[in-house]
Amino acid sequence: MDMDQKIDFERNCGFEGCNAFSLPLTEPPRCFLHIEDPHTWFSGLLSKKEDPTLSQRDLLHAIRRSHDLYREALINNPAGMQLYRKYRLQADPKGKAAHSFDDFIYFCIDAASTGITGNFAYDVIKSVVSRIPRAIKSSQTKKSFESVVHRDEYEKIRHEYHPDGKIIIEVTRGIESTIQARYRTTMWKEPEDE
């Protein structure tokens, strides 16, 4: 007899007036537009892989379905949306193509919007992104971040958020650990043995 708890994929968002389906295992139920902290939610979802009370098949299905929504939720903030629109226009100047960008694009936009909100200099975020260990060379990573998020656009948006002129010019442990954690979840890949 299967004692695994089933994951409800048909719950509606509990936000007043919203009829969208909620993200799996959110409490209270929230859709990707209304979740307060998408990173904590998706990290929690990934950590449930060790939970013996959940159907592991349902959980993997929930993670697969949720990953793209998680990426969208991460950039669902004013700075993230400005950077995303700018990148989308750069990728398709005529605006005629459907868009499904690589995980790294979403990661770069999220890292930049986090830096903007925290009032970090562009070079701080670029430095943190370039130091994250990954399968591609560091010089390619820097080039990729720079091609997704341009310095002028980043600084323009940062100045809109922080017109006082003060800026953080050094890498802090907090911004580094935040961006590294977001990298791990944004770049999540399905286990090959599943």
Whether residues 177 and 83 share a domain: the answer is yes
Whether residues 89 and 70 share a domain: the answer is no
Domain boundary among 27, 59, 74: 74
Whether residues 53 and 31 share a domain: the answer is yes
Beta bridge partners of 76: none
Whether 191 is covered by a domain: the verdict is no
Whether 193 is covered by a domain: the verdict is no
How many structural domains is the chain composed of? 2
Whether 66 is covered by a domain: the verdict is yes
Whether residues 170 and 97 share a domain: the answer is yes
Mean pLDDT of the chain: 85
Whether residues 86 and 123 share a domain: the answer is yes
Whether residues 96 and 165 share a domain: the answer is yes
Beta bridge partners of 21: 12
Whether residues 61 and 108 share a domain: the answer is no
Whether residues 105 and 64 share a domain: the answer is no
Whether residues 69 and 111 share a domain: the answer is no
**This prediction's pTM:** 0.83
Burial environment of residue 89 by CB neighbours within 10 A (0 to 12, 13 to 18, 19 or more): exposed
**pLDDT of the residue at 136:** 47
Whether residues 60 and 90 share a domain: the answer is no
Q: Which domain holds residue 70?
A: 1-74
**pLDDT of the residue at 52:** 80
Q: What is the pLDDT of residues 18-33, one digit of tens each?
A: 998 888 888 889 988 8
Which own/partner contact pairs does 127-134 have at CB distance under 8 Å and 24+ positions apart? 127/171, 128/171, 128/175, 128/176, 128/179, 128/180, 129/179, 129/183, 131/176, 132/179, 132/180, 132/183, 134/183, 134/187
Domain boundary among 74, 93, 112: 74
Domain boundary among 74, 92, 123: 74
Q: What is the pLDDT of residues 26-84, one digit of tens each?
A: 888 998 888 888 989 899 888 887 778 877 788 888 888 888 889 888 898 999 999 99
**pLDDT of the residue at 55:** 78
Whether 192 is covered by a domain: the verdict is no
**pLDDT of the residue at 17:** 92
Q: How confident is the model at residue 98 (pLDDT cuts 50, 70, 90)?
A: low
Whether residues 96 and 49 share a domain: the answer is no
Whether residues 45 and 139 share a domain: the answer is no
Q: What is the pLDDT of residues 8-17, one digit of tens each?
A: 777 889 999 9
**pLDDT of the residue at 4:** 59
